[in-house]
Amino acid sequence: MTVRRTAIVTGSTSGIGLAIAHALAAEGCNVVVNSFSDTPQDHAIAEAIAKEHPGEAVYIKADMSNAFECRALVERAAEKFGSVDILVNNAGIQHVAPVEEFPVEKWDAIIAINLTSAFHTIAAAVPLMKKAGGGRIVNIASAHGLIASPFKSAYVSAKHGIMGLTKTVALELARDKITCNAICPGYVLTPLVEAQIPDQMKAHGMDRETVIREVMLDRQPTKEFVTVEEIAAAVSFLCSPAAAQINGTHISVDGGWTAE
Ligand code: NAD
């Protein structure tokens, strides 16, 4: 009988998370697809993944801005599949504004979804991973976990925070065969990036093409967007046996942006 690992990917109905869910399902994992919306389309995404790949896939609704729901997501995944072997903290939102005008509710939501949710899911998953004798935790950080850009105070703060969480968790669990690492993508053309183009146009006083060329890809030396599949492949690698000694660090997938 094939023993399938169970993977939870938070925020996986779109963009990078969706590609990660597909990649881990292709590796033979049972996959938990998550978002906060609980629509028929969300469930259809999980059904499509299950149809295409060897393992099972289910959709579980959980709002990553809510501590209880973050922890319940992990518990429900374990109830469904019997274990949680891989946890990918991917859910994230963005808002672009000068710091003195940054809406407080946007700050709170970004810190909750992009940082605090990972604390809750990790706290809930670690006892299960310890019991199972190991596990993999991958946090989708950002190039903005390493360096800053103007007008992104909350996002840059949350992403720097998750880098600290990644290292701390790695040290705490190193003897438990549980690794914790981060991926730091550069610009990937997903709905999250599409949505910030109008704000960037406003903040910089530029048209769409100029924002893409001079604000986004200006700092990405390849002058190309990273693809969601390239991020997913890095996650698959961190979850493979070959990555057992990679712990408490990050893989930049940013076309060389943070090499400067
Ligand atoms: P996206 O907007 O395409 O997808 C975000 C996902 O998160 C969606 O499935 C959405 O439903 C989910 N989500 C949002 N709020 C949620 C909540 N409260 N509870 C549960 N789920 C929620 O975004 P993306 O570009 O794929 O980003 C995914 C991750 O990658 C984020 O953490 C983002 O910061 C990071 N990232 C993206 C880029 C990029 O250029 N796109 C670059 C660096 C890092």
195 lies in a domain? Answer: yes
Q: Are residues 14 and 46 in the same domain?
A: yes
In a domain, 1, yes or no: no
Q: Whose CA is nearest to atom 44 of ligand 1?
A: 142
Look at residue 256 and tell me if it is in a domain: no
Is residue 142 in contact with ligand 1, taking CB distance under 6 Å?
yes
CA 114–ligand 1 middle distance (angstroms): 9
Q: Are residues 196 and 137 in the same domain?
A: no
Q: Can you say whether residue 151 is alpha, beta or left, with left for phi > 0 and alpha for psi between -120 and 50 degrees?
A: left
Q: Does residue 216 share a domain with residue 145?
A: no
**107/208 same-domain check:** no
Does residue 188 line the site of ligand 1, with CB under 6 A?
yes
Q: Report d(CA 125, CA 83) in Å as an integer.
A: 9
Determine the structural domain holding residue 214 and report its residue range. 188-225
CA angle in degrees (0–180, nearest 5) for 186-61-104: 60
Q: Whose CA is nearest to atom 2 of ligand 1?
A: 192
| 244 and 203 share one domain | no
The enclosing domain of 127 has a CATH number of 3.40.50.720
Same domain, 68 and 114: yes
Could you tell me if 132 and 178 lie in one domain?
yes
Express the helix, strand and coil content of the chain in percent, nearest 5 each.
55, 15, 30
Nearest Cα neighbor of 247 from 179, 185, 168 is: 179
pTM of the model: 0.96
- Whether 137 is covered by a domain: the verdict is yes
Number of folded domains that form the chain: 2
Q: Are residues 122 and 209 in the same domain?
A: no
Is 28 within the bounds of a domain? yes
Q: Compute the distance between CA of residue 31 and CA of residue 21 in angstroms, rounded to an integer.
A: 6
In-domain check, residue 259: no
Q: Which atom of ligand 1 is nearest to the CA of 18?
A: 9
Same domain, 47 and 10: yes
Alpha-helical regions (H) of the chain:
15-26, 40-52, 67-81, 104-111, 117-132, 153-173, 191-204, 208-210, 228-238
CA of 40 to the centre of ligand 1 (A): 20
Task: Answer yes or no: is the C-beta of 185 below 6 A from any ligand 1 atom.
Answer: yes
Question: How far apart are the C-alpha atoms of 184 and 140, rounded to whole Å?
Answer: 7
Q: Same structural domain for residues 219 and 135? A: no
Ligand 1 near 192 CB (within 6 A): yes
143 part of a folded domain: yes
CA of 113 to the centre of ligand 1 (A): 9
- Does 247 map to a domain? yes
* Distance (Å) from CA 88 to ligand 1 centroid: 12
List per-residue pLDDT tens for the chain, 260 residues long.
678 999 999 999 999 999 999 999 999 999 999 999 999 999 999 999 999 999 999 999 999 999 999 999 999 999 999 999 999 999 999 999 999 999 999 999 999 999 999 999 999 999 999 999 999 999 999 999 999 999 999 999 999 999 999 999 999 999 999 999 999 999 998 988 888 899 889 989 999 999 998 988 998 999 999 999 999 999 999 999 999 999 999 999 999 999 98
Shared domain check, 97 and 10: yes
Same domain membership, residue 198 and residue 174: no
